[in-house]
């Protein structure tokens, strides 16, 4: 059962504020028993890191261990920067509810809240590779601040901050009672818009990225259709090209999910599409797995060890498990050890440039 009770949440605000119709279509699909898009491997990794931050004993891979160390260091720095006393009450992973006339209408689950005096500090852990929206504009943090304020009579001042595993350093934002009251009214208005039967659905790169309904959403499908009929090669209009660029970001996730759903059905029933779409066998590769044997045979043909090793490459990621097993080192200390091992033995190679949207 969804612990959010299928109601709006602080974490869904970045989506709901841009696409008010999203909650309605999600609830409708659930009522029909439709399968919604599930979390990715990246989301699963984030869940493990959050569990470690919460204090649970959990096995992390190398990248997760490094992320956990970064988050832990940033949390410690935030405590010092914001003068959080050592005896502050710390509450982790507790769902708080927004109510109206005694009925629950929305919720949020801050990773951590530190309470002291009339102040609450909410450090939100983020484990993704992209920067989260900055604190003073972050709608999830804004909603969490409201929830903490409403659920604790002593609190009249809330500070929110991000503790990101890979993104920028925290830039705390503070809410006084006037700002909290305004944020509360804004959220209530947003919830009211989302609860309207005709709340509009609006496709876009941010709201569609993690929306569980995108595989079934007509507006998301229309973005794909628009791109399919576009002719960017003959477009001289820069504005139109930029709009198509934004549409690409919204469509990519939809296309991936559609393909994944088709593949899932074919794995269950190979004739699900009457033979019009089939699963082709994967390409067979033949990687060399026994380098000593190959080297010995090459050596017999006159190839020196230097010539042979020059033709081979060793990704840094392959060194990690070797050194971890041999030394017991992990996290950032393991990264440092790898750099020590490969010092003077690498060459730089720059990838092709990529597109990026500047906010």
pLDDT of 336 reads: 92
% of residues, the chain, pLDDT over 70: 97
Q: What is the pLDDT of residues 141-168, one digit of tens each?
A: 999 999 999 999 999 999 999 999 988 8
Average pLDDT over residues 301-325: 90
Q: What is the pLDDT of residues 250-272, one digit of tens each?
A: 888 788 888 888 998 999 999 99
Cβ atoms < 10 Å from Cβ of 117: 11
Q: Identify whether the C-beta of residue 324 lies closer than 8 Å to the C-beta of residue 317.
A: no
Q: Identify whether the C-beta of residue 167 lies closer than 8 Å to the C-beta of residue 126.
A: yes
C-alpha distances in Å from residue 93, one per residue of 46, 183, 263: 14, 22, 36
Q: Identify whether the C-beta of residue 114 lies closer than 8 Å to the C-beta of residue 85.
A: no
pLDDT of 2 reads: 77
Q: What is the pLDDT of residues 163-180, one digit of tens each?
A: 999 888 999 999 999 999
DSSP reduced 3-state for 297: helix
Q: Identify whether the C-beta of residue 183 lies closer than 8 Å to the C-beta of residue 149.
A: no
Report the C-alpha gap between 42 and 111 in whole angstroms.
18
Q: What is the pLDDT of residues 199-215, one digit of tens each?
A: 999 998 888 888 888 88
- Cα separation of the two ends of the chain: 37
* Predicted TM-score of the model (pTM): 0.81
pLDDT of 39 reads: 57
C-alpha distances in Å from residue 163, one per residue of 28, 76, 346, 349: 35, 10, 32, 31
DSSP reduced 3-state for 357: coil
Residue 248, judged by CB atoms within 10 A of its CB (0-12, 13-18, 19+), counts as middle
Report the C-alpha gap between 68 and 284 in whole angstroms.
37
Report the C-alpha gap between 51 and 111 in whole angstroms.
10
90 — pLDDT class (breaks 50, 70, 90): very high
pLDDT of 268 reads: 93
118 DSSP assignment? T
Q: What is the pLDDT of residues 17-62, one digit of tens each?
A: 999 999 999 999 988 887 777 656 667 888 888 888 888 888 888 8
167 DSSP assignment? S
pLDDT of 236 reads: 60
Q: Identify whether the C-beta of residue 22 lies closer than 8 Å to the C-beta of residue 194.
A: yes
Task: Kindly list the structural domains of the chain, giving each domain's residue range(s) and its CATH number in brackets, ordered by start.
Answer: 10-194 (3.90.320), 205-268 (no CATH), 291-337 (no CATH)
160 DSSP assignment? E
Those residues with Cβ within 8 angstroms of residue 38's Cβ, 6 or more apart along the chain or in another chain: 212
Average pLDDT over residues 67-76: 92
């Amino acid at each position: 059962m969804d612990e959010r009770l299928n109601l709006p949440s602080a974490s869904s605000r970045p989506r709901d504020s841009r696409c008010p119709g999203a909650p309605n279509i999600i609830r409708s699909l659930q009522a029909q028993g439709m399968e919604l898009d599930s979390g990715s491997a990246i989301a699963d990794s984030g869940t493990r890191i959050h569990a470690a931050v919460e204090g649970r004993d959990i096995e992390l891979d190398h990248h997760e261990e490094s992320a956990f160390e970064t988050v832990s260091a940033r949390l410690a720095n935030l405590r010092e920067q914001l003068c959080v006393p050592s005896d502050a009450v710390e509450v982790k992973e507790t769902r708080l509810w927004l109510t109206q006339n005694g009925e629950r209408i929305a919720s949020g689950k801050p990773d951590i809240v530190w309470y002291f005096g009339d102040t609450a500090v909410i450090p939100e852990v983020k484990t993704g590779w992209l920067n989260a929206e900055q604190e003073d504009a972050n709608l999830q943090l804004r909603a969490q601040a409201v929830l903490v304020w409403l659920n604790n009579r002593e609190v009249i001042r809330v500070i929110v901050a991000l503790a990101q595993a890979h993104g920028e350093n925290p830039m705390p934002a503070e809410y006084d009672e006037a700002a909290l009251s305004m944020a509360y009214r804004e959220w209530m208005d947003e919830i009211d818009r989302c609860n309207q039967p005709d709340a509009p659905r609006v496709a876009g790169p941010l709201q569609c990225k993690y929306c569980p309904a995108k595989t079934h959403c007509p507006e998301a499908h229309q973005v794909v259709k628009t791109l399919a009929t576009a002719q960017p090669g003959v477009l001289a209009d820069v504005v139109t090209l930029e709009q198509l660029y934004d549409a690409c970001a919204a469509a990519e996730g939809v296309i991936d999910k559609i393909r994944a759903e088709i593949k899932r059905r074919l794995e269950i029933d190979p004739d699900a599409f009457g033979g019009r779409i089939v699963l082709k066998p994967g390409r067979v590769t033949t990687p060399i797995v026994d380098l000593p044997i190959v080297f010995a045979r090459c050596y017999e043909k006159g190839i020196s060890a230097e010539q042979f090793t020059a033709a081979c490459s060793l990704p840094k990621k392959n060194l990690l498990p070797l050194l971890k097993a041999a030394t017991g080192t992990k996290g950032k200390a393991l990264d440092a050890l790898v750099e020590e091992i490969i010092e003077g033995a690498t060459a730089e190679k720059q990838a092709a440039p990529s597109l990026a949207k500047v906010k």
